[in-house]
Amino acid sequence: MSEYINAVLNTVISKNPAEPEFHQAAKEVLESLEPVVERHSKYQEAKVLERITEPERVIMFRVPWIDDKGRVQVNRGFRIEFNSAIGPYKGGLRFHPSVYLGILKFLAFEQVFKNSLTTLPMGGGKGGSDFDPKGKSEMEVMRFCQSFMTELQRHIGPETDVPAGDIGVGGREIGYMFGQYKRLRNEFTGVLTGKGLGWGGSLIRPEATGYGSVYFAQEMLKTRGETLEGKVCTVSGSGNVAQYTVEKVTQFGGKCVTLSDSVGSIYDPDGIDAEKLAFVMELKNVKRGRIKEYAERFDCEYRENERPWSVPCDCAFPSATQNEINLEDAKTLLKNGCCVVSEGANMPSVPEAADLFVEQKILYGPGKAANAGGVATSGLEMSQNSMRLSWSREEVDSKLNGIMVAVHEQCMAAAEEYGQPGNYVMGANIAGFVKVADAMLDQGVV
């Protein structure tokens, strides 16, 4: 690592103590940028790396609410407005007990580069709360969302900052938050994406992240003259991204054999077909049950507290959470012949695992490229809201596919330009960076 990059990284670490996930994300990006700052001194002269690692604004607030027993509960809410050089802040909201500043800073930082890769004009942001939706009643979730939006509304807007879903935030939560925003501001506007179809939502937005991650895998496979047809695939998670990953892999002739949640995984060697996937969607999205019930219903193996990575596969689609593939998992995947990893989740591979994938030259699509389809389709929802019209399913899906092809091309071109052909990590970081950094230079010291 060069002296300059090392100095910037050390500053990030000392200015943001006890935020290991943010340090991890910053280190990966900064390392990739070394040849770029070497070739173009303008970035160092204008302190672009120092600026791009500092959020433009961090908002942290109290979220008080009343539970079903009439007791007062208190959570913490956040919105990180990281970078608005190329558009309004854009990024999801995560509701999970593990949420704290460091997780959201890593996610918002990744979002800056991801959104840049989508080709659409969106800055980067992320937010959420340590609220745990698990085990809460419908009314408790609604009261929490209303209280959360009561504060957040003053910081966001369709031209300022446009939140969406992430872990623990789906259509239900977006609905409650949209209702509260509209009531407080007396405005019907595209302030959130992932809205219901009848009130400003876009077709394909629910499917977009999973579909996009599969489209990205197809693009990577294409470079080696292959397709997903006949490939055995492992998928982790069983939420929004995992579900639509399974749907698209199956449509492309592949076979998904695993799903998981935070307490275990299922292994179904026969494959998760459309009928079984419908069961999963009902189980997770309506009944809000555990994936274990899949194993009971379809008489297959349930592995308590295990992740899916020991199951032999051609392609892996990590779609649950950060750091869910450790070095041992990565070695196991490679030993079993896995040649594609397309990250539906954000930063699911620990740095040592990611380094190994790059070193072994498998087709490794990092999250900020492979899962960009979700936020890209949010961008398409914003366009439709602004135009006050809605595109057909086919139209949105074909735009999503075109964007994933473009994300892939940009990664390939940047990796090639800096002498590391096929290195999608470097390619994604460089291509994402250059557009934002040049916009920052154009806009002066802000």
- C-beta closer to ligand 2IT: residue 308 or 348: 348
**45, two tokens:** 């002269």
Longest dimension (CA), the chain: 62
Which of ligand 2IT, ligand NDP, none is residue 261 near (CB under 5 to 8 Å by kind)? ligand NDP
- C-beta closer to ligand 2IT: residue 276 or 284: 284
The residues that bridge with 124 in the sheet, in sequence order, are 83, 90
List phi, psi (to 5°) of 160.
Answer: -120, -55
In angstroms, the CA 291 to CA 259 distance is 8
Residue type present at position 57 = R
168 touching ligand NDP, by CB under 6 A: yes
Annotated catalytic, 126?
Answer: yes
Binder to ligand NDP among 83, 84, 146, 209 (CB under 6 A)?
209
In angstroms, the CA 318 to CA 321 distance is 8
- E-assigned strand segments in 84-230: 89-95, 123-129, 161-164
Q: How far is the CB of 431 from ligand 2IT (least distance, A)?
A: 17
Residues in the chain, how many?
446
- C-beta closer to ligand 2IT: residue 308 or 367: 367
Q: How far is the CB of 297 from ligand NDP (least distance, A)?
A: 17
Q: Which residue has the tokens 């292994």?
A: 267
Question: Choosing from 90, 105, 114, 126, which is the catalytic residue?
Answer: 126
Q: How far is the CB of 419 from ligand NDP (least distance, A)?
A: 29
Site of interaction with ligand 2IT (CB under 6 A): 90-92, 111, 114, 164, 166, 193, 346, 374-375, 378
Check if the beta carbon of residue 113 is closer than 8 Å to that of residue 79: no
- Per residue in 326-350, is it b (16+ CB within 10 Å) or e — as a string? eeebbebbbebebbbbbbbbbbbbb
Which of ligand 2IT, ligand NDP, none is residue 193 near (CB under 5 to 8 Å by kind)? ligand 2IT
Which of ligand 2IT, ligand NDP, none is residue 414 near (CB under 5 to 8 Å by kind)? none
Stretch that binds ligand NDP, among 35-43, 145-153, 176-184, 234-242 (CB under 6 A): 234-242
Binder to ligand NDP among 115, 240, 245, 349 (CB under 6 A)?
240
In angstroms, the CA 192 to CA 174 distance is 7
Question: Kind of pairing, strands 57-66 and 89-95?
Answer: unpaired
Binder to ligand NDP among 87, 91, 124, 165 (CB under 6 A)?
165
Which of ligand NDP, ligand 2IT, none is residue 168 near (CB under 5 to 8 Å by kind)? ligand NDP
Using Cβ positions, the residue closest to ligand NDP within the complex turns out to be: 239
Which of ligand NDP, ligand 2IT, none is residue 91 near (CB under 5 to 8 Å by kind)? ligand 2IT
| SS3 of the chain: helix, strand, coil, percent, to 5 | 50, 15, 35
346 touching ligand NDP, by CB under 6 A: yes
- Considering just the CA atoms, what is the radius of gyration of the chain in Å? 21
Stretch that binds ligand NDP, among 1-9, 172-180, 340-348, 380-388 (CB under 6 A): 340-348
Q: What are the residues whose beta carbons fall under 8 Å from the beta carbon of 165, sequence distance 6 or more?
A: 92, 93, 171, 173, 174, 194, 240
Binder to ligand NDP among 238, 250, 384, 385 (CB under 6 A)?
238
Question: For residue 132, which of 100, 97, 94, 92 has the smallest C-alpha distance?
Answer: 97
Binder to ligand NDP among 128, 237, 379, 427 (CB under 6 A)?
237
**Window 367-406: contact mask with ligand NDP (x via CB under 6 A):** ----x--x--------------------------------
Q: How far is the CB of 370 from ligand NDP (least distance, A)?
A: 9
In angstroms, the CA 154 to CA 148 distance is 11
Question: For residue 247, which of 283, 271, 220 has the smallest C-alpha distance?
Answer: 271
In angstroms, the CA 113 to CA 115 distance is 5
The residues that bridge with 65 in the sheet, in sequence order, are 73
**Window 245-274: contact mask with ligand NDP (x via CB under 6 A):** ----------------xxx-----------
- Catalytic residue set: 126
Residues that bind ligand NDP (CB under 6 A): 165-168, 170, 209, 237-242, 261-263, 319-321, 344-346, 371, 374
